[in-house]
Amino acid sequence: MDIFEKLRSGEAVDMRSEEYMPAIAELKRADIALFRLNHAEPYSEEQAEAFCRLFDGHVPESLSVMTPVQIDFPKQITFGKHVFINHSFTAMSIGGIEIGDHVQIGPHVTIVTDNHDLADHYILKCKTVRIGNHVWIGAGVTIMPGVTVGDHAVIAGGAAVVKDVPTNAVVGGNPAKIIKMLGNRKKGNCSE
């Protein structure tokens, strides 16, 4: 199991260890690619190349991301089809982020997958965040490690999501709570 698989599995990892060195190298690679992406002219060939470089060529064509963004471990994110991410997105993705199809993410959204041991802050403890299909995440939302957001959920602007969000739920607040449940919104309401 390589370091990234270990982090996605939730095993504790010592950031001072030799096994963590590939993560530091990837962080540096991503940081350089992010600099180029965030400083490129929007919609230019330079921006497209920087975007491809950031994700090492493994990004769906239907992904749309507005800059600036801050993504520390882009290879730890998987995207479905037709995902839109607005500006100022922050992904602390070392523990893995899975984003489904037809997801819309508002500006200033933060998704966090890592935490630290209370006794030793150099020990990482990660949990994957999973976002279902047809999810709408409002502006200024924070999603914490290990959260799963069900299909067709809506997260109201400014929410702090610390536990799973059921399918068809509208949640908001800090910590986020269910505001209401939407009717059954299966295939047909949104194009596949």
50, two tokens: 């920087």
Tokens of 132: 């279902």
Which residues does the annotation mark as catalytic? 116
- C-alpha 100/C-alpha 22 separation (Å) is 27
Domain ranges, ordered by start, for the chain: 3-175
Q: Residue 18: left (phi > 0), alpha (psi -120 to 50), or beta? A: alpha
For the chain, residues with pLDDT lower than 70 are 185-192
Q: Using CA atoms, how far apart are residues 134 and 94, in angstroms rounded to an integer?
A: 24
The shares of helix, strand and coil residues in the chain, as percent rounded to the nearest 5, are 20, 30, 50
- Please tell me the number of Cα atoms within 13 Å of 57 on its side-chain side: 0
Largest CA distance in the chain: 51
Choices 3.40.50.2300, 2.160.10.10, 3.20.20.10, 3.10.450.50: CATH for 3-175 = 2.160.10.10
Q: What is the pLDDT of residues 59-112, one digit of tens each?
A: 778 999 999 999 999 999 999 999 999 999 999 999 999 999 999 999 999 999
Taking only the tens place, the pLDDT of each residue in 67-80 is 999 999 999 999 99
What's the pLDDT score for residue 188?
47
